[in-house]
Protein backbone atom coordinates (compact mmCIF):
# COMPACT_ATOMS: atom_id res chain seq x y z
CA UNK A 1 0.00 0.00 0.00
CA UNK A 2 1.21 3.52 -0.73
CA UNK A 3 2.32 5.73 2.11
CA UNK A 4 -0.13 8.47 2.98
CA UNK A 5 2.27 11.14 1.80
CA UNK A 6 2.40 9.68 -1.71
CA UNK A 7 1.30 12.24 -4.29
CA UNK A 8 0.70 11.57 -7.97
CA UNK A 9 4.09 13.15 -8.69
CA UNK A 10 6.13 10.97 -6.38
CA UNK A 11 4.21 7.86 -7.38
CA UNK A 12 5.20 8.62 -10.97
CA UNK A 13 8.75 9.25 -9.83
CA UNK A 14 8.95 5.89 -8.14
CA UNK A 15 7.41 4.12 -11.10
CA UNK A 16 9.71 5.89 -13.53
CA UNK A 17 12.78 4.90 -11.56
CA UNK A 18 11.61 1.31 -11.26
CA UNK A 19 10.78 1.12 -14.96
CA UNK A 20 14.20 2.29 -16.16
CA UNK A 21 16.12 0.33 -13.56
CA UNK A 22 14.23 -2.82 -14.51
CA UNK A 23 14.73 -2.33 -18.23
CA UNK A 24 17.44 -4.36 -19.81
CA UNK A 25 20.10 -1.80 -20.72
CA UNK A 26 22.49 -1.83 -23.62
CA UNK A 27 24.49 1.31 -22.87
CA UNK A 28 25.41 2.56 -19.44
CA UNK A 29 26.72 6.06 -18.93
CA UNK A 30 28.33 6.63 -15.56
CA UNK A 31 29.30 10.05 -14.16
CA UNK A 32 30.18 11.32 -17.62
CA UNK A 33 31.62 14.83 -17.80
CA UNK A 34 32.95 16.41 -20.95
CA UNK A 35 34.48 19.83 -21.60
CA UNK A 36 35.52 21.71 -24.73
CA UNK A 37 38.75 23.62 -24.04
CA UNK A 38 37.96 23.52 -20.34
CA UNK A 39 34.35 24.72 -20.73
CA UNK A 40 31.97 22.06 -19.37
CA UNK A 41 29.38 20.73 -21.81
CA UNK A 42 28.31 17.61 -19.87
CA UNK A 43 28.28 17.42 -16.09
CA UNK A 44 28.37 14.07 -14.28
CA UNK A 45 25.68 12.40 -16.36
CA UNK A 46 24.55 8.94 -15.32
CA UNK A 47 21.91 7.05 -17.28
CA UNK A 48 21.15 3.69 -18.77
CA UNK A 49 19.85 3.28 -22.28
CA UNK A 50 17.33 0.42 -22.46
CA UNK A 51 17.85 -2.21 -25.11
CA UNK A 52 15.54 -2.29 -28.12
CA UNK A 53 13.77 0.85 -27.10
CA UNK A 54 13.84 4.41 -28.37
CA UNK A 55 15.41 6.88 -25.97
CA UNK A 56 15.12 10.59 -26.77
CA UNK A 57 17.44 13.34 -25.56
CA UNK A 58 15.63 16.66 -25.38
CA UNK A 59 16.52 20.10 -24.05
CA UNK A 60 17.20 23.65 -25.13
CA UNK A 61 19.82 24.55 -27.68
CA UNK A 62 23.34 24.16 -26.30
CA UNK A 63 22.31 21.89 -23.40
CA UNK A 64 24.64 19.11 -24.58
CA UNK A 65 22.39 16.67 -26.46
CA UNK A 66 24.63 16.27 -29.49
CA UNK A 67 27.76 16.23 -27.35
CA UNK A 68 26.32 13.30 -25.39
CA UNK A 69 25.20 11.46 -28.52
CA UNK A 70 28.59 11.89 -30.16
CA UNK A 71 30.35 10.63 -27.06
CA UNK A 72 28.51 7.32 -27.47
CA UNK A 73 30.51 6.38 -30.55
CA UNK A 74 33.64 8.35 -29.68
CA UNK A 75 33.20 11.09 -32.23
CA UNK A 76 35.14 13.44 -29.95
CA UNK A 77 38.30 11.37 -30.21
CA UNK A 78 39.93 13.63 -32.78
CA UNK A 79 39.06 16.86 -30.99
CA UNK A 80 42.13 17.63 -28.92
CA UNK A 81 40.33 20.32 -26.94
CA UNK A 82 37.91 17.76 -25.48
CA UNK A 83 38.52 16.38 -22.01
CA UNK A 84 36.35 13.65 -20.58
CA UNK A 85 35.77 11.88 -17.27
CA UNK A 86 33.45 9.03 -16.44
CA UNK A 87 32.50 5.87 -18.25
CA UNK A 88 30.40 4.67 -21.14
CA UNK A 89 29.79 0.94 -21.30
CA UNK A 90 28.36 -0.89 -24.28
CA UNK A 91 27.11 -4.33 -23.27
CA UNK A 92 29.22 -4.01 -20.14
CA UNK A 93 32.46 -3.03 -21.89
CA UNK A 94 33.97 0.43 -21.46
CA UNK A 95 34.12 1.89 -24.98
CA UNK A 96 37.42 3.69 -24.31
CA UNK A 97 39.21 0.52 -23.20
CA UNK A 98 42.48 -0.01 -25.10
CA UNK A 99 41.23 -3.23 -26.65
CA UNK A 100 38.21 -1.52 -28.25
CA UNK A 101 38.84 -0.65 -31.91
CA UNK A 102 37.06 2.57 -32.84
CA UNK A 103 36.04 1.31 -36.30
CA UNK A 104 34.37 -1.74 -34.77
CA UNK A 105 32.71 0.41 -32.10
CA UNK A 106 31.27 2.63 -34.85
CA UNK A 107 30.00 -0.43 -36.68
CA UNK A 108 28.22 -1.53 -33.53
CA UNK A 109 27.02 1.99 -32.73
CA UNK A 110 25.96 3.64 -36.00
CA UNK A 111 25.20 7.32 -36.38
CA UNK A 112 22.88 9.30 -38.62
CA UNK A 113 23.20 13.08 -38.81
CA UNK A 114 20.79 15.93 -39.39
CA UNK A 115 21.66 16.46 -43.06
CA UNK A 116 21.50 13.32 -45.21
CA UNK A 117 25.01 12.51 -46.36
CA UNK A 118 24.89 9.79 -49.03
CA UNK A 119 28.20 9.10 -50.72
CA UNK A 120 28.68 10.17 -54.37
CA UNK A 121 27.95 6.72 -55.74
CA UNK A 122 24.95 4.61 -56.67
CA UNK A 123 22.10 3.73 -54.32
CA UNK A 124 23.33 0.12 -54.26
CA UNK A 125 26.95 1.05 -53.59
CA UNK A 126 25.98 3.35 -50.74
CA UNK A 127 24.40 0.46 -48.90
CA UNK A 128 27.14 -2.00 -49.89
CA UNK A 129 29.89 0.41 -48.81
CA UNK A 130 30.34 -0.83 -45.26
CA UNK A 131 30.01 -4.45 -46.37
CA UNK A 132 32.91 -4.02 -48.79
CA UNK A 133 35.02 -2.51 -46.00
CA UNK A 134 34.28 -5.55 -43.87
CA UNK A 135 35.89 -7.81 -46.44
CA UNK A 136 34.98 -10.35 -49.07
CA UNK A 137 31.38 -11.27 -49.54
CA UNK A 138 29.87 -13.08 -52.50
CA UNK A 139 27.82 -10.84 -54.76
CA UNK A 140 24.65 -12.79 -54.14
CA UNK A 141 25.03 -12.51 -50.38
CA UNK A 142 25.83 -8.79 -50.70
CA UNK A 143 22.72 -8.29 -52.84
CA UNK A 144 20.67 -9.97 -50.14
CA UNK A 145 22.03 -7.75 -47.39
CA UNK A 146 21.52 -4.62 -49.50
CA UNK A 147 17.91 -5.61 -50.12
CA UNK A 148 17.37 -6.44 -46.44
CA UNK A 149 18.83 -3.09 -45.35
CA UNK A 150 16.77 -1.13 -47.87
CA UNK A 151 13.63 -2.99 -46.80
CA UNK A 152 14.44 -2.35 -43.13
CA UNK A 153 14.80 1.34 -43.95
CA UNK A 154 11.41 1.29 -45.74
CA UNK A 155 13.03 2.34 -49.02
CA UNK A 156 13.20 -0.85 -51.08
CA UNK A 157 9.95 -0.41 -53.01
CA UNK A 158 10.92 3.11 -54.03
CA UNK A 159 14.40 2.23 -55.30
CA UNK A 160 14.42 -1.44 -56.31
CA UNK A 161 14.11 -0.56 -60.02
CA UNK A 162 16.90 2.04 -59.92
CA UNK A 163 19.62 0.68 -57.66
CA UNK A 164 22.31 1.83 -60.11
CA UNK A 165 21.18 5.47 -60.08
CA UNK A 166 23.12 8.07 -58.19
CA UNK A 167 22.12 8.37 -54.54
CA UNK A 168 21.96 12.10 -55.11
CA UNK A 169 19.01 11.59 -57.48
CA UNK A 170 16.85 10.73 -54.46
CA UNK A 171 14.74 13.23 -52.51
CA UNK A 172 16.04 14.47 -49.15
CA UNK A 173 13.76 12.11 -47.24
CA UNK A 174 14.79 9.16 -49.40
CA UNK A 175 18.44 10.09 -48.96
CA UNK A 176 18.02 10.05 -45.19
CA UNK A 177 16.42 6.59 -45.35
CA UNK A 178 19.27 5.49 -47.63
CA UNK A 179 21.79 6.67 -45.04
CA UNK A 180 19.86 4.69 -42.41
CA UNK A 181 19.97 1.63 -44.73
CA UNK A 182 23.72 2.11 -45.17
CA UNK A 183 24.12 2.16 -41.40
CA UNK A 184 21.86 -0.87 -40.89
CA UNK A 185 23.70 -2.96 -43.50
CA UNK A 186 26.62 -3.57 -41.13
CA UNK A 187 24.19 -4.76 -38.43
CA UNK A 188 24.72 -2.22 -35.64
CA UNK A 189 23.40 -2.86 -32.15
CA UNK A 190 22.68 0.81 -31.53
CA UNK A 191 21.57 3.55 -33.90
CA UNK A 192 22.23 7.15 -32.88
CA UNK A 193 20.09 9.72 -34.65
CA UNK A 194 20.98 13.40 -34.37
CA UNK A 195 17.91 15.40 -35.44
CA UNK A 196 17.40 13.00 -38.34
CA UNK A 197 14.25 14.65 -39.65
CA UNK A 198 14.89 18.32 -39.01
CA UNK A 199 15.94 19.00 -42.62
CA UNK A 200 12.93 17.12 -44.04
CA UNK A 201 9.37 17.98 -45.06
CA UNK A 202 6.44 16.78 -42.86
CA UNK A 203 5.69 13.65 -44.93
CA UNK A 204 9.32 12.55 -44.98
CA UNK A 205 9.48 13.29 -41.26
CA UNK A 206 6.54 10.97 -40.61
CA UNK A 207 8.23 8.22 -42.63
CA UNK A 208 11.40 8.60 -40.56
CA UNK A 209 9.34 8.47 -37.36
CA UNK A 210 7.55 5.32 -38.52
CA UNK A 211 10.90 3.84 -39.40
CA UNK A 212 12.34 4.64 -35.97
CA UNK A 213 9.39 2.94 -34.31
CA UNK A 214 9.70 -0.12 -36.52
CA UNK A 215 13.46 -0.48 -36.02
CA UNK A 216 13.27 -0.94 -32.29
CA UNK A 217 12.34 -4.57 -32.79
CA UNK A 218 15.89 -5.00 -34.14
CA UNK A 219 18.10 -2.57 -32.25
CA UNK A 220 18.46 0.16 -29.64
CA UNK A 221 17.82 3.70 -30.84
CA UNK A 222 18.87 7.02 -29.34
CA UNK A 223 17.33 10.14 -30.80
CA UNK A 224 18.30 13.77 -30.32
CA UNK A 225 15.44 16.05 -31.18
CA UNK A 226 14.36 19.64 -30.70
CA UNK A 227 10.84 18.59 -31.42
CA UNK A 228 9.02 17.53 -28.27
CA UNK A 229 6.02 16.20 -30.18
CA UNK A 230 8.42 13.98 -32.06
CA UNK A 231 10.01 12.74 -28.83
CA UNK A 232 6.53 12.05 -27.46
CA UNK A 233 5.47 10.24 -30.63
CA UNK A 234 8.42 7.94 -31.10
CA UNK A 235 10.34 7.44 -27.88
CA UNK A 236 9.82 5.08 -24.98
CA UNK A 237 12.13 6.98 -22.63
CA UNK A 238 13.06 10.64 -22.57
CA UNK A 239 16.04 12.34 -20.97
CA UNK A 240 15.75 16.08 -20.42
CA UNK A 241 19.09 17.86 -20.39
CA UNK A 242 19.70 21.43 -19.35
CA UNK A 243 23.00 23.26 -19.16
CA UNK A 244 24.98 20.02 -19.44
CA UNK A 245 23.06 18.28 -16.66
CA UNK A 246 20.64 15.40 -16.84
CA UNK A 247 17.63 16.98 -15.16
CA UNK A 248 15.06 14.23 -15.53
CA UNK A 249 14.95 10.83 -17.18
CA UNK A 250 11.75 8.83 -17.29
CA UNK A 251 9.42 6.79 -19.47
CA UNK A 252 8.25 9.28 -22.10
CA UNK A 253 4.59 9.26 -21.02
CA UNK A 254 5.52 9.97 -17.41
CA UNK A 255 7.94 12.74 -18.34
CA UNK A 256 5.46 14.55 -20.55
CA UNK A 257 2.33 14.06 -18.48
CA UNK A 258 3.75 14.23 -14.99
CA UNK A 259 7.22 15.79 -14.87
CA UNK A 260 8.79 15.59 -11.45
CA UNK A 261 10.73 18.80 -11.58
CA UNK A 262 9.75 22.38 -12.29
CA UNK A 263 12.65 22.77 -14.73
CA UNK A 264 11.27 19.93 -16.86
CA UNK A 265 7.74 21.24 -16.66
CA UNK A 266 8.85 24.72 -17.67
CA UNK A 267 10.63 23.32 -20.70
CA UNK A 268 7.88 21.03 -21.94
CA UNK A 269 5.24 23.69 -21.46
CA UNK A 270 7.30 26.21 -23.40
CA UNK A 271 8.17 28.45 -20.47
CA UNK A 272 11.88 27.83 -20.99
CA UNK A 273 13.46 28.39 -24.40
N1 LIG B 1 33.23 21.43 -31.17
C2 LIG B 1 32.93 22.25 -30.17
N3 LIG B 1 33.85 23.08 -29.67
C4 LIG B 1 33.56 23.90 -28.64
N5 LIG B 1 32.37 23.96 -28.02
C6 LIG B 1 31.41 23.14 -28.49
C7 LIG B 1 31.63 22.26 -29.59
N8 LIG B 1 30.49 21.58 -29.83
C9 LIG B 1 29.58 22.02 -28.92
N10 LIG B 1 30.13 22.97 -28.12
C11 LIG B 1 29.47 23.67 -27.01
O12 LIG B 1 29.02 22.67 -26.09
C13 LIG B 1 27.72 23.01 -25.59
C14 LIG B 1 26.75 21.87 -25.92
O15 LIG B 1 26.60 21.83 -27.34
P16 LIG B 1 25.74 20.72 -28.08
O17 LIG B 1 25.92 20.92 -29.54
O18 LIG B 1 26.06 19.41 -27.51
O19 LIG B 1 24.28 21.14 -27.60
P20 LIG B 1 22.87 20.70 -28.20
O21 LIG B 1 21.99 20.53 -27.03
O22 LIG B 1 23.03 19.53 -29.11
O23 LIG B 1 22.48 22.01 -29.01
P24 LIG B 1 21.56 22.17 -30.32
O25 LIG B 1 20.21 21.72 -29.91
O26 LIG B 1 21.63 23.64 -30.59
O27 LIG B 1 22.18 21.34 -31.40
C28 LIG B 1 27.35 24.33 -26.22
O29 LIG B 1 27.69 25.37 -25.32
C30 LIG B 1 28.23 24.40 -27.45
O31 LIG B 1 28.52 25.73 -27.78
Domain-located, residue 22:
yes
| pTM check: above 0.90 | yes
Domain-located, residue 45:
yes
Contact partners, residue 41, CB within 8 Å, separation at least 6: 34, 35, 64, 67, 244
Integer Cα distance of 71 and 83 in angstroms:
11
Domain-located, residue 82:
yes
Give residue 81's domain range.
8-117+182-268
Instruction: Say if ligand 1 is within 6 A of residue 242 CB.
Output: no
Between 202-215 and 172-185, two packed helices, what is the crossing angle to 10 degrees? 20
Give the pLDDT band (50/70/90) at residue 20. Answer: confident
Confidence (pLDDT) at 4: 42
Q: Give 68 Cα–ligand 1 centroid separation in angstroms.
A: 10
Residues pairing with 223 in the sheet: 56, 193
Q: Which of 67, 193, 245 to mutate to test the pocket of ligand 1 (most atoms within 8 A of CB)?
A: 67
Q: What is the CATH number of the domain that holds 19?
A: 3.40.50.300
Integer Cα distance of 264 and 46 in angstroms:
17
Domain-located, residue 233:
yes
Confidence (pLDDT) at 273: 64
Query: Could you give phi then psi for residue 69, rounded to 5 degrees?
Result: -60, -45
In this structure, are residues 108 and 191 in contact, taking their beta carbons and an 8 Å threshold? no
Domain-located, residue 135:
no
Q: Is residue 9 over pLDDT 70?
A: no
pLDDT tens-digit readout, 34-44: 999 999 999 99
Integer Cα distance of 169 and 218 in angstroms:
29
Percent residues over pLDDT 70 in the chain: 93
Instruction: Tell me 6's DSSP state.
Output: -
In this structure, are residues 56 and 235 in contact, taking their beta carbons and an 8 Å threshold? yes
Domain-located, residue 52:
yes
Confidence (pLDDT) at 2: 36
Tell me the pairing of strands 190-194 and 220-224.
Answer: parallel
Mean pLDDT of 143-148: 96
Q: What's the structural domain count of the chain?
A: 1
Q: Give 36 Cα–ligand 1 centroid separation in angstroms.
A: 9
Atom of ligand 1 nearest to the CA of 64: 18
Half-sphere exposure of 11 (CA within 13 A, CB side): 9
Instruction: Say if ligand 1 is within 6 A of residue 64 CB.
Output: yes
Give the pLDDT band (50/70/90) at residue 13. Answer: low
Domain-located, residue 139:
no
Assign residue 120 a region: left if phi > 0, alpha if psi is -120 to 50, beta otherwise? beta
pLDDT tens-digit readout, 193-225: 999 999 889 999 999 999 999 999 999 999 999
Q: Which of 35, 37, 41 to mutate to test the pocket of ligand 1 (most atoms within 8 A of CB)?
A: 41
DSSP H or E run through 168: none
Q: Is residue 73 over pLDDT 60?
A: yes
Mean pLDDT of 244-269: 94
Q: Which of 181, 176, 135 is nearest to 160 (CA)?
A: 181
Q: Is residue 7 over pLDDT 80?
A: no
Confidence (pLDDT) at 3: 40
Domain-located, residue 81:
yes
Amino acid sequence: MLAQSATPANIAEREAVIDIAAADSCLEIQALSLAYAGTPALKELTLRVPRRRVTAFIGPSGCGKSTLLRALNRLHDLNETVSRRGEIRLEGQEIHAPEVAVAELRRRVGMVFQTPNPFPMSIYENVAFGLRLQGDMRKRQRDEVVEWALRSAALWDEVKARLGDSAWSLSGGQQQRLVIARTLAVKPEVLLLDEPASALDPISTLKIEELIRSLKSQLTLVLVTHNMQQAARVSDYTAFLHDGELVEYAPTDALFTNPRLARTENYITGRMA
